[in-house]
Amino acid sequence: MGGMSIWHWAIVALVVVLLFGGGKLSGLMGDAAKGIKAFKQGLKDDDDDVKTKKPDEEPKA
């Protein structure tokens, strides 16, 4: 009881596709991928800033 079988997930996926349509769903996933790439690029930029900072500089508060 309480467990979700593969058939439950298949029905949920079918309902989602019917509600949102294939085009909207793929567009949403593309936007999510762009957001993840931008987040990773931001983390990389922050790491580069830390590595290039001179040791005698004090961090700004």
pLDDT of residue 38: 93
Q: Which is higher by pLDDT, 50 or 16? A: 16
Which residues have C-beta within 8 Å of that of residue 28, sequence separation ≥ 6? 20
Cα 37 to Cα 21: distance, rounded to the nearest angstrom? 25
* pTM exceeding 0.75: no
pLDDT of residue 61: 57
pLDDT of residue 20: 81
pLDDT of residue 10: 94
10-30 pLDDT, tens per residue? Answer: 999 999 888 888 777 788 888
13 burial level (CB within 10 Å; 0-12, 13-18, 19+): exposed
Could you tell me the residue ranges of all domains in the chain?
22-52
